[in-house]
Amino acid sequence: MTQWQDPSVLGFCAFVYNQIAVFLLGFLSNHVITNLDIEWSLITRRRRFSPALVPYLLGRYSILVVLIAFIVLNHVRSKVECDATYKALALLGSLGSFCSTLNLNIRTYIIWKGVNRCVVSVLALATVGHAALVIVQSAHSVSFSWNEQTHSCAMVHSSNITMFVFYLYTIVMDLTILVLTFCGLWRIAALKSAIGSSLSEQCLWYCIGTFLCNIPAVILPILNLNAVMNVMASMPATTLSVVMSSNAVLSLRPEEMNATTGACAPHQDPPALPTGLAVGVGGIMMSTQCALTTQIALESCTDTSNVDSEVSFSARSRKSTEGTAAGVA
């Protein structure tokens, strides 16, 4: 049986954790570099900055900073304030996980904003609770000290209860967002519309992915094998959640680039949806930019039966007019 508290085992676990960080840095860097659409549109002023972009940008770059700093610190032999530094990295890592959930939480909030204030209030309170756990997680999850023999920072303690509660809360929060998204789209009769189907599918796959990624991050702290194993799955879970959340944001494309000229396709008014669901881009007309969007605007729902009756009446009136004109001719 493995002696998890043995120094040699702890050293091997730390080595594996460092190699995982290197792999995740390459994986995340490739994702960020190949998906700079929103950043580029902000730099070139083709997109007006919107608060809805904050969790998207903050989640991506907070975890990127964590991975870079973690790898650099492992190769630095100068004495540093280990505990404060790694607590700051824990804060940024937890913030990345929080932002990945918030990306989809914003959509659910917008869907329910004009439908039920109680649901909106519950979402707001749940988000505040998640943010509070981010602070608790960063303050109590890990403790580091300087090791004079190895001239590096060494983990001396990790709070398995704090980590278990944080990642379990994240899973429950993601599942709640999934259920509320489906219920909200169903309630406003938008579940089968084009954008409603896209939103529900993105939320479903995101929740499945984050659920699978966070399972090890929940189980390992409960097992409490050693200080390193308690945090072994936290970095992969957070990184993969941020990548999947970013892909969900990037997949909302209100218009495509013209493949032959490389310019924006001509502006066309979006087709009228019987559900009243429309896509907005930070208040800027789509004819002036070719940017992606993280913002969804829900207009007041119209009565589909009235719309159908008006369409039928217009069709009968048109046929009657044409018949009269033919008779006169």
Within 10 angstroms of residue 171's Cβ, the number of other Cβ atoms is: 19
Asked if residues 227 and 158 have their Cβ atoms less than 8 Å apart, the reply is yes
Asked if residues 289 and 46 have their Cβ atoms less than 8 Å apart, the reply is yes
Residue 15 has pLDDT above 50, yes or no: yes
- CA dist 292 and 52 (Å) reads 12
Considering just the CA atoms, what is the radius of gyration of the chain in Å? 25
- CA dist 192 and 196 (Å) reads 6
Residue 283 has pLDDT above 80, yes or no: no
**Beta-carbon-side half-sphere exposure of residue 195 (alpha carbons within 13 Å):** 25
- Residues facing residue 155 across a β-bridge: 144
Distance (Å) of CA 26 to CA 97, 209, 253, 281: 19, 20, 26, 31
The mean pLDDT value of the chain amounts to 77
Pairing assessment for the beta strands 277-279 and 296-298 based on DSSP bridges? antiparallel
pLDDT band for position 156 (50/70/90)?
Answer: confident
28 contact partners, CB below 8 Å, separation of at least 6: 60, 63, 64, 67, 239, 242, 243
Residue 152 belongs to what H/E stretch? strand 152-158
Place of tokens 């303050």: 139
Q: Bigger pLDDT: 260 or 207? A: 207
Best CA proximity match to 184, nearest among 167, 200, 160, 206:
200
**What is the 8-class DSSP label of residue 77?**
-
Structure tokens, 204:
């479903």
Best CA proximity match to 94, nearest among 181, 179, 159, 26:
159
Asked if residues 104 and 177 have their Cβ atoms less than 8 Å apart, the reply is yes
Residue 251 has pLDDT above 80, yes or no: no
pLDDT score for 284: 30
Give the mean pLDDT of 179-188: 86
pTM for this model (two decimals):
0.74
Place of tokens 């579940």: 191
48: left (phi over 0), alpha (psi -120 to 50) or beta: beta
**Of 23-32, 179-188, 217-226, 276-285, where does mean pLDDT reach its minimum?**
276-285
What the chain holds in terms of domains, given with CATH numbers, is 7-250 (1.20.1070.10)
66 contact partners, CB below 8 Å, separation of at least 6: 89, 92, 93, 96, 235
Amino acid at the residue 284: I
Q: Indicate the SS3 state at residue 273.
A: coil
Amino acid at the residue 297: A
Best CA proximity match to 88, nearest among 102, 72, 69, 115:
69
Best CA proximity match to 41, nearest among 296, 242, 298, 249:
249
pLDDT score for 207: 83
